Amino acid sequence: MEQLLPNDGHPHTIIHANAMLLSNELGLLILGDPGIGKTEFCITLLKQGHQLISDDAVLLSRIDDTLIAKAPKRIHNLMHRKKEGFLSITDHFGDHALAHVCHIHAAIELTKENKTTTRESCIFLGLSIPKIKCHHLASSKEFQTFVEQL
C-alpha cells in the first residue's frame, strides 16, 4: 500500500469511492456500499459530459484547506464493471471523459435505505464537505438539485 500513496508531505488516504469533475468545475465524491451503483451513476454523468477522476478507489490529499482527488496510479483511466471487467475510460468515452485531478467540493452517498434524501456533511482528512444521502434509484434527480444549490 505504501507505494500507492504519494510522498509529498501532505496528508492523504485512499477511500472506496468514485470521483467526478463536473462540467461546472465542481469536484464530487460518490460514496456507497459495494454494488450500490456508483459506477453506473458515473456512467450516467459521463454521458452528460462530465469527467471521471477515479472509479472504485480515490486518492484524497489535503493541501491547506482543500481536498484534492485523483486516481491511484494502478487504476488511472480504468473503470470496473461487474460483467465486463476493467474498461479504459478514454477508449469507451473519449479523451475528454477523463480528468486527472480535482478539488472536492461535495459528496453524494447512494444508499438502499429509505427514499428520503438527507443533507449532511462528511469529513475527510479533517475537512468537512456537504453531502446528500439519497436512494440509489432516485440519485439523478436529487443530485441535480443538490449541485444547483452548491
Distance set, CA 97 to CA 45, 62, 86, 146 (Å): 10, 25, 16, 22
Buried b (16+ CB within 10 A) or exposed e, 99-121: beebebbbbbbbbeeeeebeeee
Distance set, CA 106 to CA 61, 65, 89 (Å): 15, 14, 23
Q: What is the pTM of this model?
A: 0.86
d(CA 114, CA 95): 38
Please tell me the predicted confidence (pLDDT) of residue 44: 87
Cα angle: 90, vertex 42, 85; to 5 degrees = 60
Do strands 127-135 and 101-111 pair parallel, antiparallel, or not at all (unpaired)? Answer: parallel
d(CA 14, CA 78): 16
In the chain, domain spans = 2-149
Please tell me the predicted confidence (pLDDT) of residue 27: 96
Cell of 1: 500500500
Please tell me the predicted confidence (pLDDT) of residue 134: 84
Architecture of domain 2-149: 3-Layer(aba) Sandwich (3.40)
Count of CB atoms within 10 A of residue 1's CB? 6
Low-confidence ranges of the chain (pLDDT < 70): 1-9, 114, 138-150
Please tell me the predicted confidence (pLDDT) of residue 48: 87
**18 beta partners:** 30
